[in-house]
Copies of this chain bind each other. A is one copy, B any other.
């Protein structure tokens, strides 16, 4: 786990979760992988309209360090890199669903 997660432990469990998940695109990455299983970086970029290569690479690395995602490199030329959700990542299903539902509520509110 990254230092920012370790520091959040001195505050409260909510901040620990926010330290792991709070960055933009992270829950959407988990959401896409929960939906599709295993995806290559290029496929993830297509799923996440508007994410930059740089941001996606950083968020994938952080999620991997924090044990949420697994990265598999297939020894081909060029190497094929795939991401999938770990067992710990699978436990995020409820949070992703709750955030999805709440986000829709905000969208409806903005449209009204």
Contacts and interface: CB of A to CB of B under 8 A. Distances in A.
Interface of A: 1, 5-6, 8-28, 31, 48-50, 67, 88, 91-92, 94-96, 98-107, 109-110
Contact of A49 (B1, B11, B103): B11
A6 to B, nearest CB: 7
A50 B17 contact: no
Chain A interface helix/strand/loop/mixed: helix
Contact of A13 (B12, B24, B107): B107
A10 B110 CA distance: 13
Given A14-B103, A16-B103, A17-B103, 17 more contacts: A11-B49, A13-B99, A13-B100, A14-B28, A14-B31, A14-B96, A14-B100, A16-B106, A17-B99, A18-B22, A18-B99, A18-B103, A20-B106, A21-B99, A22-B24, A94-B98, A95-B102
